Chain A
């Protein structure tokens, strides 16, 4: 392939270097500075893929992100689906193919880095075209902190696509000077290849910077491929330009049919003629520039077909001088061709009637139906749009604080006007910020604008082909046509939001950049209402597609969520622990020995704790230091039981409820001094309980003199559990009298070990004799190792959370959040003993007296023993009752409750479960059923306490 359609000179590509790429298996040349689209067009290739539903050939239809059809999948150097050929910058070794609709996710992991940056600015300017550059210069010269972002590889915007002159020289000179000046301002951040894709509240803008995509395989590995900029701007100036709008006509989707402005961009920016023989179809003056420029570049322009009855007298004169025929009052009423357009059917249009068509041979058909200002960011800010009947487009319809829309994004179409509007928008932003503008910001002189002939708003050419609009494509990517819109209108749809969902118009990768306004206009025509009334659908972020990898940035894999580990983590790893996630914590679940599965390991660990001695890393338990003269007053109000009567040196179990009387957490309270307590919470409830206490202290009882601090991470905690625990603890801490008389259950004692302060507490979450050992986390490993060493003769066994769960469940100790779900009172748990009757009030008390809480059919915590002594009931299983005749009630079968915890018990030598069952305590001794895998397993309802109900073991 050779670049037959490359102009001999001009454009901004680097002609001194040639790169090679592969498209659909064929090798093509190109230059740095090309896009995949421009390089394909330079070799005469228009067709990209067949369409998603109808399989019609489709090509490159625009030069940038508005292209509805030129989708490709990149295979090399890294696979990436659904990119536009018009926005992929070319590099050597690129391998891609055309995409018929859906892309395919890569089956190899993405090894690139992605990251994010935060930036705060006074003024954010989006778009580095003439208006944006004028705005950025104005803000920068006033000394404001400025960010300028632009989605192209270089600044200039529309100036890159035309032949504009500023200050009597090619506009590129002014652009280069402006960029250089901005670079010299220390407070200016100027980012190209950066798309502002979402505008949110209070000037928060997300922008995607493509940092190394354009380098292909040569991209340095250490640099993030893409970066999301999180920009907080006090003022935003939107200078995002305008997208050209096509006109819909029968067979308007063939390869070779493209936007006139796009053809001009390919010519001036990339040095590519899009064809050899062109027909230009327009409703406004702007396409004449394309016709004349292409003519000068050697393209034969068969005709300019101008739908306006009078055309544009001034521009027609220019065409006549160039020898380009102009047909006014005419339209393109159809096309012929296969993989490429071969002819346009040109016909007069009068009074909405298409006349007899002439066939004009061509290999490209350039279309312009006017310009749609890119109001996406304004609309995302919930700005109201208004329909402009002259432009046939939606414009910002109100002023928003902190947001100015300037240049062609605001509907201006002349260069001098855009430059001045950019300066005006930035000046207004500076005024709002109280920043004095620089004395004078001189704008470059643009040629006196020629007043264009009024444009004609023409959404579609009537279908005279007999196809009834079924080949008149509104959304090329979705294969959605005028006929589809007619069906939507016929089905009674009136809102564009409904029409969009019915027809899928505007739901593809381009989100309706060309099709949205067309759909509004055609629907309005079909319904016979003004376009203002149909309006548009809501513009939502992102403006252009953003890869999930970019949004995730570095927050993936192990960095997706923080991992919390205890001071003993490395010891657990070395001991071969299998971990489980408990919130953000990594906790040892069990410590398998060779050949053991979890069930075997847990049975062994349980047996050790019940018959010898075990040790658990309980450091993740929440710990809150409560200090102050009113500490006891606060805790009396927050716990269901009385805390103020607790003696220094003692421990009490406590339950906390919400105002609705439902249990929210439980744990033990150590009284350290008259005015100081240590609260133990569940692992998962640590932050919640601290917040809960803070809320009451701050919002209800600010007069209480009490302070709260989390000390979860400061104290490592190891329960040493089992009948032999006294021997081990006594051996390691000889200064402590560990006898039951001197150190009774629910008391604590301080001691030291080699000068390190240690606190011991007789607390049991297993029913066995147990000592909880508290030590500063810095000494955790040393103290733990001493205990393990000292316990060797007793066969001390480290155990994990699974064994902890079995041991506590055998004793009927609930886990708040597992055996409860926010609808369970202490009474439902059988813990009336933990609810004070002496206290006049505490949080939740009044709710216990509510009628519903007296209902004997409330769900209550009970034990379940499968009668077959084998089945481990799946947690979450429903509990059902048989009728008196021993049969299952007819569906829907009433549910009595559900299984909350279920384990195998070494002690009981059978599986058991805890469950919440309606009127459960009254059913003790009954047999109910639990459906497991299609069979109904009979289970006996028991007390929730299945092991040592007398509590004989806790003192050893």
Chain B
């Protein structure tokens, strides 16, 4: 069972968290002005990369707060957690030393 670093509570067991899908997919400003296809992209389409992925997580049996994380979908490693009002870390910011698999 992984430990996930809640930005407010610190490391907690993964069973305390729930997954919220891809991060940085804002609700469209004017949904009424979107074509069916554009709207469908917001509702149904999400990236599914192998490797780094910006995701939303909720510490739902802890502080109940949402946060964002960069997680490697191949290793499950959380490389960074950050608050919702923080910008998505750039590739350069993430290029620092990476934890090896354990």
Give A residues with C-beta under 8 Å from B. 200-202, 204, 232, 381-382, 399-403, 659-660, 691, 694-695, 698-700, 702, 840-841, 845-847, 849-851
Known contacts A660-B43, A695-B58; can you find 17 more A-B pairs with CB under 8 A? Answer: A202-B2, A202-B3, A232-B3, A382-B102, A399-B100, A401-B100, A401-B102, A698-B84, A700-B26, A700-B27, A841-B31, A846-B34, A846-B39, A847-B39, A847-B43, A849-B36, A850-B40
A840 to B30 CA separation, bound complex (whole angstroms): 9
Contact yes or no, A200 B34, CB < 8 A? no
Query: Beta-carbon contacts of B33-55 to A below 8 Å, as 1s and 0s?
Result: 01010011011100000000000
A204 to B99 CA separation, bound complex (whole angstroms): 17
* 8 Å CB interface, B46-102 against A: 56, 58, 60, 64-66, 76, 84-85, 99-102
**Chain B, residue nearest A851 (CB):** B36
A514 to B32 CA separation, bound complex (whole angstroms): 67
Give chain A residues whose Cβ lies under 8 Å from the Cβ of B84. 698-699, 702
Contact yes or no, B76 A201, CB < 8 A? yes
Which of A204, A232, A841 is in CB contact (< 8 Å) with B32? A841
A400 to B43 CA separation, bound complex (whole angstroms): 41
Question: What total of chain B residues lie within 8 Å of the partner, measured CB to CB?
Answer: 28
With a 10 A CB-CB cut-off, give which of B1, B27, B76, B102 has the most chain A CB atoms.
B102
A303 to B43 CA separation, bound complex (whole angstroms): 77
Give B residues with C-beta under 8 Å from A. 1-3, 20, 26-27, 31-32, 34, 36, 39-40, 42-44, 56, 58, 60, 64-66, 76, 84-85, 99-102
Give chain B residues whose Cβ lies under 8 Å from the Cβ of A695. 20, 58, 66
Contact yes or no, A845 B43, CB < 8 A? no
Contact yes or no, B32 A201, CB < 8 A? no
Contact yes or no, B60 A850, CB < 8 A? no
Contact yes or no, B34 A702, CB < 8 A? no
**Chain B, residue nearest A695 (CB):** B66
Question: Could you give 23 example pairs across A and B, Cβ below 8 Å?
Answer: A201-B3, A201-B76, A202-B2, A202-B3, A204-B1, A204-B3, A232-B3, A382-B101, A382-B102, A399-B100, A659-B27, A659-B42, A695-B58, A695-B66, A698-B84, A699-B66, A702-B84, A841-B31, A841-B32, A845-B32, A846-B32, A850-B40, A851-B36
Which of A402, A699, A847 is in CB contact (< 8 Å) with B56? A699
**Chain B, residue nearest A202 (CB):** B3
Contact yes or no, A694 B1, CB < 8 A? no
B19 to chain A, nearest CB (A): 12
A694 to B59 CA separation, bound complex (whole angstroms): 12
Give chain B residues whose Cβ lies under 8 Å from the Cβ of A401. 99-100, 102
A699 to B3 CA separation, bound complex (whole angstroms): 23
Give chain A residues whose Cβ lies under 8 Å from the Cβ of B26. 700
With a 10 A CB-CB cut-off, give which of B34, B44, B58 has the most chain A CB atoms.
B58
A359 to B20 CA separation, bound complex (whole angstroms): 71
A700 to B26 CA separation, bound complex (whole angstroms): 7
Contact yes or no, A400 B76, CB < 8 A? no
A213 to chain B, nearest CB (A): 27
Give chain A residues whose Cβ lies under 8 Å from the Cβ of B64. 694
With a 10 A CB-CB cut-off, give which of A204, A399, A695, A699 has the most chain B CB atoms.
A699
Give chain A residues whose Cβ lies under 8 Å from the Cβ of B100. 399-401
Contact yes or no, A698 B99, CB < 8 A? no
A402 to B100 CA separation, bound complex (whole angstroms): 10
A841 to B27 CA separation, bound complex (whole angstroms): 11
A873 to B101 CA separation, bound complex (whole angstroms): 56
Give chain B residues whose Cβ lies under 8 Å from the Cβ of A200. 1
Give chain A residues whose Cβ lies under 8 Å from the Cβ of B99. 401
Give chain B residues whose Cβ lies under 8 Å from the Cβ of A850. 36, 39-40
Which of B1, B42, B65 is in CB contact (< 8 Å) with A201? B1
Given contacts A201-B2, A695-B58, whether A400 and B101 have CB atoms under 8 Å apart is: yes
A662 to chain B, nearest CB (A): 10
Contact yes or no, A702 B85, CB < 8 A? yes
With a 10 A CB-CB cut-off, give which of B31, B32, B84, B100 has the most chain A CB atoms.
B31
Give chain B residues whose Cβ lies under 8 Å from the Cβ of A702. 84-85
Give chain A residues whose Cβ lies under 8 Å from the Cβ of B42. 659
Give chain A residues whose Cβ lies under 8 Å from the Cβ of B101. 382, 400
B90 to chain A, nearest CB (A): 21
Given contacts A694-B64, A695-B66, A698-B84, whether A402 and B102 have CB atoms under 8 Å apart is: yes
A539 to chain B, nearest CB (A): 15
Contact yes or no, B31 A845, CB < 8 A? yes
A555 to chain B, nearest CB (A): 14
A164 to chain B, nearest CB (A): 33
Give chain A residues whose Cβ lies under 8 Å from the Cβ of B60. 691
**Chain B, residue nearest A661 (CB):** B43
Give chain B residues whose Cβ lies under 8 Å from the Cβ of A847. 39, 43
Give chain A residues whose Cβ lies under 8 Å from the Cβ of B2. 201-202
A382 to B58 CA separation, bound complex (whole angstroms): 27
A381 to B2 CA separation, bound complex (whole angstroms): 12
B51 to chain A, nearest CB (A): 17
Given contacts A200-B1, A841-B31, A847-B43, whether A403 and B102 have CB atoms under 8 Å apart is: yes
Which of A400, A691, A700, A851 is in CB contact (< 8 Å) with B102? A400
**Chain A, residue nearest B75 (CB):** A382
Give chain B residues whose Cβ lies under 8 Å from the Cβ of A232. 3
A214 to B102 CA separation, bound complex (whole angstroms): 36
Give chain B residues whose Cβ lies under 8 Å from the Cβ of A382. 101-102
Give chain A residues whose Cβ lies under 8 Å from the Cβ of B56. 699
Q: Which 4 interchain pairs have the tightest Cβ spacing?
A: A846-B31, A201-B2, A202-B3, A401-B102
